[in-house]
Chains A and B, each alone.
Chain A
Amino acid sequence: MAYDKFTVLKSTCVPLPLENVDTDQIIPARFLKATKREAFGDNLFRDWRYNNDDSPKEDFVLNNDTYSGKVLVAGRNFGSGSSREHAAWAIYDYGFRCVISSFFADIFKGNSLNIGILPVTVSPEFLDKIFKDIEKDPNAQVEVNLPTQTVTLVSTGESESFEINGYKKNNMVNGFDDIDYLQAMKEEIGSFEAARPF
């Protein structure tokens, strides 16, 4: 699946200051019945976003026009639970390109990197600064720079570096994916397979 290249993203943020946001909340199981990757963004955070009669819940952040942007800022342990890549698709299809948190669940992080969402892990202190910055000014921006691996609060210039392995960084900067890489080493994989004991 091709995705947009990611280099530098300067954007306002959508704050979701809750811990342990699991993938069942990001996209409930009943919306996983598609056989194509289409319209998952419509059901992003479905049960937090809409009432039973499909009217928007006014107190949920995605229904608050004050906040918008391509960066979702979330509390600790974001994306726990199911391995459903649909959760990452919903976030991407809604329009987010980056999620910032102090801690991500492993599978969600992997899925995000594979489809072109950059998960940025910052310290709890820096996360708190971002939340406070947005609270003070909903138009506050962050700049996420993948080549230099830094995230900066535009209002104050405060900055923190984040980690990503070189291979994944290269993929995201260039819009490559793993399947291109693996297809190029099929012969090596074939020899490996032939020597397996089972």
Chain B
Amino acid sequence: MSKTLFDKVWDAHVVRSIEDGPDVFFIDRHFIHEVTSPVAFLGLESRGVGVIFPERTFATADHNTPTINQHLPVEDPLSANQLRALEGNSAKYGISHWGLGHQKNGIVHVVGPENGITLPGMTIVCGDSHTSTHGAFGAIAFGIGTSEVEMVLSSQCIMQPKPKKMKITVNGKLGKAVTPKDVVLYVIAQISAAGATGYFVEYAGDVFENMSMEGRMTVCNMTIEMGARGGMIAPDETTFAYLKGREMSPKGEDWEKLLKYWATLKTDDDAVFDKELTYTAEEIEPQITYGTNPGLGTSISSTIPKASDVIDGEASYKKSLNYMGFAEGESIIGKEVDYVFIGSCTNGRIEDFRAFASIVKGRKKADNVTAWLVPGSHIVEAQIKEEGLLDIFTEAGFVLRQPGCSACLAMNDDKVPAGKLAVSTSNRNFEGRQGPNSRTLLASPLVAAAAAVSGKVSDPRGFMD
């Protein structure tokens, strides 16, 4: 029977199917971080069970780590306590731990791929919804809750009903300043923040085939924001070229053997999806959100839609605009910006900083803007320095911070103050997401750069040759 890519990877991981119940689903790689794991470890202790395959779990500290002075003790006692718990639990159970100061430390969804831990055909989970990022490699990857973290630690399995399958195709040629972030923000705006709930998405079409691995990671990362459990893209030569030679990628005969297996990981021609959507690349402009969920976004040159034109209920839409201080029909371009954040597991990779640099080069940071430039990992930080991007940032008046999740969810000190407006390359614009009563506009690194140098929401196309 014909299968989709998703079917092939899913079916290879079912240990047992329970009648009228979920599948017992095997997990190849498990990432843990300081926030969603401590209670899971307590659960293991109270049950008196251990970690079944510690070599399949990797720990990194990212969610509430500071982005300055990482060589000093962490000031917030609660954060410090969580970081100590992660370190202690990892040591106790024999789990690799990349804590603060470790050269491989960084955001979990950045360090997994860049070290070659994430591979095609794997199942990958983490107590973080943006685990969907790893689907860029043709893996089934999704976020789980703490009870499930405990399940994976103790049994390497979770109990998971198989989601329905959706195919999203985008064909054509992307326009000037239209990045992978714009592609995915566009799709979310078309189908709403709940448009893919219940589904697992496979992306197809030449836009994704021609996209870099980092771009594919951005797209799969944001797939959770349309409600889907995750998104995936069939592995191809781009995938293999990215992985070859990475520190923990398989080598020699193992690599050759896996290449043969990975070549089979594509959707059969006559395989059937539960839902298919198709978009045209030429219709996508640089995007920006204006509301308080990622589905409330539009082309940067458009005006804020009327309540009658959006899928969301009128009560929540009006609450959303009221929170943002925006009105129906207003232009988004020209709004004065207080903060700019580039970073997070969505846009904290080297290509994102290259894009940001392409616009700020030769310009100056606007005086009214506080800018936080936060690399996704120490490896990205090193690349920024090696490639001369740091010099460009410094000349333009920007400062580079140290890696971590930072202002994406503001669990550390990087909080946008109440009432302030931020253009952010992260993934969520929920009320208070970047700090209590802060206001967030989600956008690409190019849009963020244009805002950082102009001090207001601006069309990045006007800043490019």
Q: Spell out A's residues near B (CB within 8 Å).
A: 1, 17-20, 22, 24-25, 28-30, 32-37, 47, 52, 75-77, 80-86, 88, 103-107, 110-111, 114-115, 165-168, 177-179, 181-183, 185-186, 188-190, 192-193, 196-198
Q: Is the interface of B mostly helix, strand, loop or mixed?
A: loop
Contacts of B293 in A (CB 8 A): 20, 22, 80
- The listed residue (A25, A166, A182) touching B157 by CB distance below 8 A is A182
- 5 contacting pairs across A/B (C-beta < 8 A): A80-B293, A83-B129, A165-B21, A179-B43, A183-B155
In whole angstroms, how far apart are the Cα atoms of A81 and B127 in the complex? 13
The closest CB in chain B to the CB of A24 belongs to B430
Nearest Cβ on chain B to A91's Cβ, whole angstroms: 13
Is B315 an interface residue when CB atoms closer than 8 A count as contact?
yes
Identify which of B33-41, B270-278, B394-402 touches chain A.
B33-41
Nearest Cβ on chain B to A3's Cβ, whole angstroms: 10
- Contact of A178 with B128 in the complex, beta carbons under 8 Å: no
- Contact of A114 with B436 in the complex, beta carbons under 8 Å: no
Given contacts A18-B316, A83-B143, A189-B156, contact A35 B82 (CB under 8 A): yes
Nearest Cβ on chain B to A109's Cβ, whole angstroms: 9
Contacts of A32 in B (CB 8 A): 35-36, 63, 411
Nearest Cβ on chain A to B173's Cβ, whole angstroms: 33
- Contact of A106 with B229 in the complex, beta carbons under 8 Å: yes
Chain B 357-383 per-residue mask, 1 if CB under 8 angstroms from chain A, else 0 = 000000000000000000000000000
Contacts of A88 in B (CB 8 A): 145
- Contact of B145 with A36 in the complex, beta carbons under 8 Å: no
- The listed residue (A20, A24, A29, A111) touching B145 by CB distance below 8 A is A111
- Contact of B49 with A183 in the complex, beta carbons under 8 Å: yes
- Contact of A189 with B26 in the complex, beta carbons under 8 Å: yes
- Contact of B145 with A107 in the complex, beta carbons under 8 Å: yes
- B107-144 contacts to A, CB under 8 A, are 119, 121-122, 127-129, 131, 143-144
Is B7 an interface residue when CB atoms closer than 8 A count as contact?
no
In whole angstroms, how far apart are the Cα atoms of A77 and B26 in the complex? 29
- Contact of A111 with B313 in the complex, beta carbons under 8 Å: no
Identify which of B190-198, B282-290, B342-350 touches chain A.
B190-198
Q: Which of B146, B161, B319, B410 has the most CB of A within 10 A?
A: B146
- Contact of B38 with A36 in the complex, beta carbons under 8 Å: yes
- Contact of B85 with A35 in the complex, beta carbons under 8 Å: yes
The closest CB in chain B to the CB of A184 belongs to B155
In whole angstroms, how far apart are the Cα atoms of A106 and B155 in the complex? 22
- Contact of B21 with A84 in the complex, beta carbons under 8 Å: no
- Contact of A82 with B129 in the complex, beta carbons under 8 Å: yes
- Contact of B315 with A17 in the complex, beta carbons under 8 Å: yes
Is B22 an interface residue when CB atoms closer than 8 A count as contact?
yes
- B146-191 contacts to A, CB under 8 A, are 146-148, 150-151, 154-159, 161, 163
Is B19 an interface residue when CB atoms closer than 8 A count as contact?
yes
Nearest Cβ on chain B to A80's Cβ, whole angstroms: 6
Given contacts A77-B227, A166-B20, A193-B26, contact A52 B194 (CB under 8 A): no
The closest CB in chain A to the CB of B143 belongs to A83
- Contact of A177 with B432 in the complex, beta carbons under 8 Å: no
In whole angstroms, how far apart are the Cα atoms of A169 and B111 in the complex? 38
Given contacts A28-B432, A168-B21, contact A110 B145 (CB under 8 A): yes
- Contact of B229 with A182 in the complex, beta carbons under 8 Å: no
Nearest Cβ on chain A to B9's Cβ, whole angstroms: 12
In whole angstroms, how far apart are the Cα atoms of A20 and B227 in the complex? 11
- Contact of A35 with B81 in the complex, beta carbons under 8 Å: yes
The closest CB in chain A to the CB of B89 belongs to A35
- Contact of B154 with A167 in the complex, beta carbons under 8 Å: no
Q: Spell out B's residues near A (CB within 8 Å).
A: 15-16, 18-22, 24, 26, 28, 35-36, 38-39, 42-43, 47, 49, 52-53, 63-64, 76, 78-79, 81-82, 85, 119, 121-122, 127-129, 131, 143-148, 150-151, 154-159, 161, 163, 193-194, 197-198, 227, 229, 250, 257-258, 261, 293, 312-313, 315-316, 319, 409-411, 418, 428, 430-433, 436-437
Contacts of B258 in A (CB 8 A): 197-198
Contacts of B76 in A (CB 8 A): 33
Given contacts A20-B312, A114-B148, contact A33 B64 (CB under 8 A): yes
Q: Which of B82, B143, B194 has the most CB of A within 10 A?
A: B194
Contacts of B163 in A (CB 8 A): 106
- Contact of B16 with A178 in the complex, beta carbons under 8 Å: no
- Contact of A75 with B129 in the complex, beta carbons under 8 Å: no
- Contact of A29 with B146 in the complex, beta carbons under 8 Å: no
Contacts of A114 in B (CB 8 A): 145, 147-148
Nearest Cβ on chain B to A114's Cβ, whole angstroms: 4
The closest CB in chain B to the CB of A21 belongs to B316
Given contacts A25-B430, A77-B194, contact A85 B147 (CB under 8 A): yes
Contacts of A106 in B (CB 8 A): 163, 197-198, 227, 229
The closest CB in chain A to the CB of B77 belongs to A33
In whole angstroms, how far apart are the Cα atoms of A80 and B192 in the complex? 12
- Contact of A167 with B18 in the complex, beta carbons under 8 Å: yes
Nearest Cβ on chain B to A84's Cβ, whole angstroms: 7
In whole angstroms, how far apart are the Cα atoms of A125 and B197 in the complex? 20
- Contact of B250 with A198 in the complex, beta carbons under 8 Å: yes
- Contact of A165 with B20 in the complex, beta carbons under 8 Å: yes
- The listed residue (B15, B144, B151, B410) touching A188 by CB distance below 8 A is B15
Nearest Cβ on chain B to A38's Cβ, whole angstroms: 10
In whole angstroms, how far apart are the Cα atoms of A110 and B28 in the complex? 21
In whole angstroms, how far apart are the Cα atoms of A80 and B227 in the complex? 7
- The listed residue (A28, A36, A75) touching B436 by CB distance below 8 A is A28
Contacts of B36 in A (CB 8 A): 32, 83-85
The closest CB in chain A to the CB of B148 belongs to A114
- Contact of B15 with A29 in the complex, beta carbons under 8 Å: no
The closest CB in chain B to the CB of A111 belongs to B145
In the complex, given contacts A106-B227, A179-B154, A183-B49, what are 13 additional A-B residue pairs having Cβ atoms less than 8 angstroms apart? Answer: A19-B312, A20-B194, A24-B409, A37-B39, A47-B437, A82-B128, A106-B197, A107-B229, A165-B21, A167-B20, A168-B22, A179-B43, A197-B121
- Contact of A105 with B436 in the complex, beta carbons under 8 Å: no
